Structure 1
Amino acid sequence: MNLLLPSATDDGGFHGPTINEFFPEIVLFADTPFAMNRIMMIRVLAVVVLMLFFWLTTRRMKVIPTRMQSVAEMGLDFVRVNIAEDLLGKKDGKRFLPLLTAIFFMVLFMNITGVIPGLNIAGTSVIGVPLVLGLTAYATFIYAGVKKNPKNFFRNALFPPGVPPALYIIVTPIEFVSTFIIRPVTLTLRLLMNMVVGHLLLVLFFSATQFFFFTADGGFKLFGAGTLVFGFAFTLFEVLIALLQAYIFSLLTAVYIQLALAEEH
């Protein structure tokens, strides 16, 4: 079964990728709440590999680390230093570090499946995972604010101090939408759409390569070399995007927590 190049069809024409790429057929447990399609299986695989990676690299830690231990420590230190402590300080950074670490590596591992041969689609390219992560970040933001200032968190968020009372009729709806609606929505959609667009572009490049090499006539076959080069170049770009989206998602989660913990709240 060809997982990446479905678009050159028997009619001899070229057909680009469609949104149907993200709704593959059920392959396991059909007609049950546990139905599994290829994307769900990729998500499970990503989580299993993530857990296995950290179990293998941390079960016998040494003073002089092995290469794999060094990779794990670099990743963990990156989240701790550049995201948690940099934005939240050492005390609150340590408090929220497990969540930020879990978000960073979960997004990273599920994103990177989009460029792994045989998988070829990100686990975050369907809204389920981005939505769960966005709601988790949102719930943590609310929890942090209420925990810090249970009496005044919502009041200060919706009625910012120092604003003339007459302006609250304008300011309060804006603050409500921007703080309590736009934040989780933008977190979810930013991750989702980056993975959707990346997958569609990769399929477009490589299915065009297949079409030019094996279906097109004459000199048109030469275009296959160009689409192949662009496909490989964009694959490397997708690896960068996978890293950036993991960083941005966890960074914004930390920023929202920091805002919730700010003194004015």
Structure 2
Amino acid sequence: MPAILASDVFTPPDVGLFDFPPLWSGAPYWLTKPVVLGLAGVAVLCVLAWAAFARPALVPRGLQNAGEYGYPFVRDQVARPFLGADADRWMPLLLSLFLLILLWNLFGVVPGLQFPVNARISFPVVFALIVYVIKIYLGVRHQGLKGYLTGLMFPPGLPKPLAIALFAPLELLYTFVTSPFTHAVRLFANMFAGHLLLAFFSAVGFWFVVEHPTLPGVPVGILSVVMAVLMTGLEIFIQFLQAFLFTMLAAMFIGGSLHPDH
């Protein structure tokens, strides 16, 4: 019985997809593809913003028109529901968060790039920590340390014994520990899982149709290609949704510190 060659065995993609060595031998350990994509995303966003609004026209066209659709979307759907009259003040932060996260996510479906930057946990963690520091700072500044902690632990209408025994410890744990963690992980996990699924269906399709075609295998490969196409459409929707949810939660956290009564 002939030995099975390693090339005859399909190896599905695994978490090794997310391990990137330095770009060249001797390069700093941190200079990897995700870092370059992250910096490129910032540069692209700055260039697009400059091109759209460096010379604004009374009747918007092209990039300015697209930008003027994006701004009211974030303002009306994210900022105003949680920040009210303070929405415009926080729009630079929220709009930048939304657009950069969305662009970094979309890199996952761009041919040649094909990696969502936020599938590396360090990037969402930085965003989440920025929002976390702003939230705590605003809460203490506007309510005082005692007022901020009291508002967290003893909401109006909740019996004090119940608050002391159950609600206060859970709320403190959530606010100071799990809140930034879950804020970051929600974005990271969705981008991680989506990229892995796309890679899996693409690899199966390539293997059974191109690399190792067989009579029973080709239909499986074609089905996998179709699934990869459908999953790409779904992934684009999820990429947009996760950028929206991350920014919405940021607005909610900031609004909760500015307006604790609401």
TM-score (ref. length: structure 1)? 0.90
Q: CA deviation at 1:77?
A: 1.3
The correspondence of residues 1-265 of structure 1 with structure 2, limited to 5 A, is 11-28=7-24, 30=26, 32=28, 35-89=30-84, 91-151=85-145, 152-167=147-162, 168-214=164-210, 215-264=212-261
Residues 206 and 81 of structure 1: CA distance in aligned 2, closer, same or farther (over 3 Å): same
State the AA in 2 paired with 1:87: F
Q: CA deviation at 1:27?
A: 0.7
Alpha-carbon contact 1:148-1:261 (below 8 Å) kept: yes
Distance 2:51 2:259 in 1: 39
Alpha-carbon contact 2:151-2:260 (below 8 Å) kept: no
Distance 2:27 2:63 in 1: 41
Q: Look up the SS of the partner of 1:17 in the other structure.
A: coil
| 1:191-222 Cα distance to aligned partner (Å, 9 max, x none) | 00000000000100111011011213223112
Residues 13 and 179 of structure 1: CA distance in aligned 2, closer, same or farther (over 3 Å): same
Distance 2:113 2:70 in 1: 24
Distance 1:76 1:166 in 2: 46
Distance 1:43 1:101 in 2: 17
Q: Look up the SS of the partner of 2:23 in the other structure.
A: strand
**Percent of pairs with identical residues:** 30
Alpha-carbon contact 1:30-1:36 (below 8 Å) kept: no
Which structure has greater helix proportion?
2
Q: Look up the SS of the partner of 1:124 in the other structure.
A: helix
Distance 1:222 1:171 in 2: 56
Q: CA deviation at 1:156?
A: 1.9
Alpha-carbon contact 1:121-1:199 (below 8 Å) kept: yes
Q: CA deviation at 1:162?
A: 4.3
Runs of 5+ in structure 2 lacking a partner? none
| 1:103-128 Cα distance to aligned partner (Å, 9 max, x none) | 11111010000000001110100011
Show the counterpart of 1:4.
none
| 1:72-123 Cα distance to aligned partner (Å, 9 max, x none) | 111111111211122211x311221111111111110100000000011101
RMSD: 1.9
Distance 2:254 2:104 in 1: 24
Alpha-carbon contact 1:142-1:260 (below 8 Å) kept: yes
Q: Look up the SS of the partner of 1:218 in the other structure.
A: coil
Residues 29 and 127 of structure 1: CA distance in aligned 2, closer, same or farther (over 3 Å): farther
Alpha-carbon contact 1:29-1:36 (below 8 Å) kept: no
Distance 1:59 1:39 in 2: 29
Q: CA deviation at 1:158?
A: 2.7
